[in-house]
Chains A and B, each alone.
Chain A
Amino acid sequence: MTQPATAPLRAPLDIEFDYTRSLGPVLSQFMAALAQRRILGARGADGRVHAPPFEYDPVTAEPPGDLLPVGPEGTVVSWSWMPEPLAGQPLAVPFAWALIRLDGADTALLHAVDAGSAAAMRTGLRVRPRWSAARTGSIRDIACFEPSGGPAVPDDPGTAEAADGMTVTPVRLHYMHTASPGEGFYLRGLAERRLLGQRCGVCGQVYVPPRGTCPADGVPTHEEVELSPSGTVTTFCIVNVGYPGQRVTPPYVAAAILLDGADIAFGHLVLGCDPSEVRMGMRVRAVWGDEGVSHFEPNGEADAPYESYERFM
């Protein structure tokens, strides 16, 4: 058999998900106030004022009483310099991260300071918030802080549309995904319109797609096997539900297919016939598309007897 090419297959993997979170009674007030360009804190049982406010007193575990206004100016307690800002951070130009103790508070808020240069930053620096023009009830309603002594930005009330009690946090992450050697072997086979698997040297089972490791024995699998493009439907379901990103319009069949010569079924689509015709034991063959196997379709052979696939379900 051919040996897998040595270079691992790698590709960018960008994932995006927005968390919608309920804020609860304390942070709802805090965020609604931010939208109105005010900052609130909470006084603890020990008399210390926390800003941002705590939801439960760190000493007594009691919820706070009425929140009180703090700041909006404050003093830098510590800072670090961000020479090359990362995606999603408050500023795209070099800036300082700072712990800022707002006037009237005893704890610090973490935010960005648009100081221009590290030389302009120091502990003890007085800073004031720069408000976002379009505020939604989020910590990002404060665009950043800026040195208090600088020229004042003309007051623009902007807009405030805080969703009641909710906040949405977008998350965007960028990975370089690496296929395992077994996966790479399989994917390169697909490019040649071949279905490739691996056999475990201990138990003799043939896995397709190959996993590189036998999940039963926990040992690397080395022996490569080419499989028939024909197989048997061991079980299936008819998908009637639509969802974002769906490539086939419901109803359609998602099936577990046992390729001839394999010891494990894998999931794929069965198209090319009415969903009501698909049945356990149906014989199918791979239909190739631009990205490997597009789907399976009936190959016209007589159904496989139940005994031939029952131990693979």
Chain B
Amino acid sequence: MSEVAVVGFAQSPVAVRDDATTSGVEMLVPTIAEAFGACGITKSDIGFWCSGSSDYLAGRAFSFVSAVDAIGAVPPTMESHVEMDGAWALYEAWVKVLTGDADIALAYGFGKSSGAELRRVLALQLDPYLVAPLWPDSVSVAALQARLGLEAGRWTEKDMAEVAARSRAAAAGNPAAQVSGSVTAAELLDRPYVAEPLRAHDCAPVGDGAAVVIIASAARARELCERPAWITGFAHRIDSGSLGARDLLSVPSAAGASSAASADVGSVDVAELHAPFTHQEILLREAMGLGGDVAISPSGGALCGNPMFAAGLARIGLAARAVMSGRAGRALGHATSGPALQQNLVCVLSGASS
């Protein structure tokens, strides 16, 4: 198989932005420019563009078309879109480069999560016949999963709070983070429930943001980046859409994506996990077999900044940055989508081309 590497990454600071539109253009233009600058390229070098976003965040149809202003699509360019996190857009871009249709491709994801009540909007991703008409919000659905694990003895509320405390401490070094700082698990456990058994610290904050990842074929990657992050495995899987028929304490799609992406995923140095709820980080580590010596989400993870449709792509970008900077030999980026970790994607990156 021909080789493809991540050569550039940028993300906007995650925040509730009153000045940002649902088209994402204001967040994307500087972010794309930053990624171009790092690689020393311009828009004319990009052979394929792919975006991830959702009309449900924008409240209007075909909202992603407005975002195309940010890429300067004149003369016409090869462009595509997924109604998914930008991580899945990156997957499409990766396939495009693998097939030789493009040498350099750019994936971007963006979301103005704060345009409406996010947890309510996300009810619309549920089964439209049997579940969505009840409007179960995303936080409540995650809370059902959290309680199953608590009562099965898989984790405690203290374990969950410790995930939050560790994430916030790690995010202190991440300028894009929305939440960071020093707090103890005991302090967090003193705070009230928002959706028992979840407290605010168990849930990713609502934030707006954008992320951009540039990939290139082997022939171009070394020109653009001193130490490309070679994609050695890339896979995604999905579990049943029937919440009540799933075993919510195993995540077969995460285990399946991770083993398809790498036979030896436990040996990565860094794993950036897209866990929007504290207990989901615990579930993902177990499902993927990530041991205690793997640095988990040194950015602070999605718990410290979860711009919808960009956060998963940013996880891959951050994992790639760990490799490109030489801080990691191998790194894993993960993205999730759907209720209670229904869909999972894993991208494994290495400083050494195979």
Contacts and interface: CB of A to CB of B under 8 A. Distances in A.
Interface string A43-60: 000000010101000100
A107 B117 contact: no
Given A19-B128, A27-B129, A109-B244, A118 B196 contact: yes
Nearest to B30: A220
B245 A78 contact: no
B204 to A, nearest CB: 16
Interface stretch (A171-179, A225-233, A246-254, A292-300): A171-179
Given A89-B134, A139-B131, A176-B116, A213 B22 contact: no
A185 B68 CA distance: 21
Contacts of B193: 81, 83
Contacts of B112: 178
B151 A178 contact: no
A216 B70 CA distance: 9
Contacts of A50: 242, 245
A273 interface: no
Contacts of A19: 128
B158 interface: no
Contacts of A8: 18-19
Interface residues of A, number: 61
A110 B198 contact: no
Given A15-B59, A89-B134, A213-B70, A177 B26 contact: no
Contacts of A177: 22, 59, 115
Q: Give the interface residue-count category, chain B.
A: 35 or more
B72 A214 contact: yes
Interface string A206-225: 00000111111111100000
Contacts of A217: 72, 74
B225 interface: no
B196 A80 contact: yes
Contacts of B134: 89-90, 110-112, 139-140
B243 interface: yes
B240 interface: yes
Contact of A78 (B21, B71, B151): B151
Contacts of A78: 144-145, 147-148, 151, 248
Interface of B: 18-23, 25-26, 29, 32, 43, 56, 59-60, 68-74, 112, 115-117, 119-121, 123-124, 128-137, 140-141, 143-148, 151, 193-198, 240, 242-245, 248
24 contacts: A15-B60, A21-B129, A27-B129, A27-B130, A79-B147, A80-B144, A80-B147, A81-B193, A83-B193, A86-B135, A88-B123, A89-B134, A107-B242, A110-B243, A118-B196, A176-B116, A180-B21, A180-B23, A213-B25, A213-B69, A214-B72, A215-B73, A215-B74, A217-B72
Given A80-B144, A211-B25, A219-B72, 8 more contacts: A88-B120, A88-B135, A110-B244, A123-B151, A178-B18, A180-B23, A180-B26, A213-B29
